[in-house]
Amino acid sequence: MDKVSEKPKGAGESNFQVSQRAQQIDDEVFKLALGLPPDVISLTAGEPDFPTADFVNMAAKRAMDEDFTHYTSSTGILPLREAISRKLREDNKLDYDPSEIIVSPGSSSSIFLLLFALADRGDEILIPDPAWFHYHILSGLAGNVPVRVPQRKDEGFRLDAEDLEKKVTGKTKMLILNTPQNPTGHVLTRDELEGIAGVAERNNIIVVSDEIYEKILYGNSKHTSIASLPGMRERTVTVNGLSKGYAMMGWRVGFAASSPELTQKMTSLLGYTLVCAGSVAQKAAIEALESQKSRDYVNTMVSTWSKRRDMVLKYINDNQSVMSIVAPQGTFYGWIDVSGSGMTGKEVSSGLLRDYKVGVMPGYLFGESGKNYIRISFATSDDAVDEGMKRLAEFLNKKRKS
């Protein structure tokens, strides 16, 4: 008797028993991030509330008019890789030939492909705690072992070189670094990066540096690419994309810069899985990277978010008994400690959604250290941030007193 006929199903019952691999995935993330009903104030999604700029849309329209709508090479079109090469030189002081650059559908997929291309089953991947949940989930799916490295609130959530080195074993293969960081908003300083680079060099570790928020900085914060430090180009893959700094989330364009050999292997992996980034999106991305107008566009976005960041900090300051924060130096997130309310981040997230119709991300999704935290995004609208924070404060205060 085969497996299917052993267990006959009743009407309407499906035979889909999801794999153990898929069971590792927490379904909460995408219900909250991209699936909230319209009457909810969503402070969950990590995406700019600005539309893609007109001049970028026009480039896409031209591509469609020219019937540039077929497959492209799996590495990405050469003019885009040339534009990325120029961008890396100008913005990041990095010298990469187009043959060392791969274009992927969003930067997330570059990270996924890198885990498959560089790490074997059982290899350990160092991931800061907290960090963007994809790193942990994707390394688990790839058969690697995610190893979390604590980042502490009283140290401003920097990734400490000593803490990092303590987690290194004979099986450590890679570190996934993210600066400016989702969810804490910490921007690693050159000094901090030098300490991390030392650990990577001493222990022969590859660094995957996710720099997607590089343009979203406040005050005097400065972004440094770890690959630009002496000796680091050879062991760093720089990952970035156009979603955040160019408001092009839905176009799905990201990239990774490494060596010609790794780029070749990633190209094959991408070819077998995702095939290529969208052709029209790639043309739009060239315009976004090359146009002088992009600089003004990102400045406008960042100054808007900076005002909203102040608004968030004010609400927190006015309600210090129930919430606290280390002010984000970059990104558009607030990583809020809600332990003063007597609730965990998960309780806050579900209660706030149920009773106050405000969506926030529970901190546990970002790592064990996030248990008493929530993450909010202020890349929504002034009104949503104002009303969302008001309701959050009301909810936390009410619960504390009850």
What does the binding site for ligand PMP look like in residue numbers (CB under 6 A)?
46, 106-108, 132, 178, 182, 210, 212, 241, 243, 249, 254
- Contact (Cβ atoms closer than 8 angstroms) between residue 133 and residue 210: no
Residues linked to residue 149 through DSSP beta bridges, in sequence order: 128
Judge contact between 135 and 127, C-beta under 8 A: yes
Q: Which is nearer to ligand PMP, 274 or 393 (CB)?
A: 274
Nearest distance from residue 131's CB to ligand PMP, in Å? Answer: 8
Q: How far is the CB of 332 from ligand PMP (least distance, A)?
A: 10
Instruction: Compute the least distance from the CB of residue 302 to ligand PMP, in Å.
Output: 16
From the CB of 292, what's the least distance to ligand PMP, in Å?
23
Helix pair angle (382-401, 293-318), 10° resolution:
20
Q: Which is nearer to ligand PMP, 263 or 341 (CB)?
A: 263
In the complex with ligand PMP, the residue whose CB is nearer, 138 or 325, is 138
Q: Which residue is nearest to ligand PMP (CB)?
A: 106
Nearer to ligand PMP, 151 or 178 (CB): 178
Write down the least CB distance from residue 109 to ligand PMP, Å.
7
Nearer of residues 183 and 345 to ligand PMP, judged by Cβ = 183
> Which is nearer to ligand PMP, 146 or 343 (by Cβ)?
146
| Distance separating alpha carbons of residues 82 and 77, to the nearest angstrom | 9
The span from the first CA to the last CA of the chain, in angstroms, equals: 59
- Smallest distance from the beta carbon of 36 to ligand PMP, in angstroms? 16
Q: How many angstroms separate the CA atoms of 115 and 186, rounded? A: 24
- The angle subtended at Cα 203 by Cα 202 and Cα 207, nearest 5°, is 100
Residue 77 CB, shortest distance to ligand PMP, in Å, is 18
Q: Nearest distance from residue 265's CB to ligand PMP, in Å? A: 20
Q: Which is nearer to ligand PMP, 251 or 297 (CB)?
A: 251
Residue placing its CB nearer to ligand PMP in the complex, 237 or 343: 237
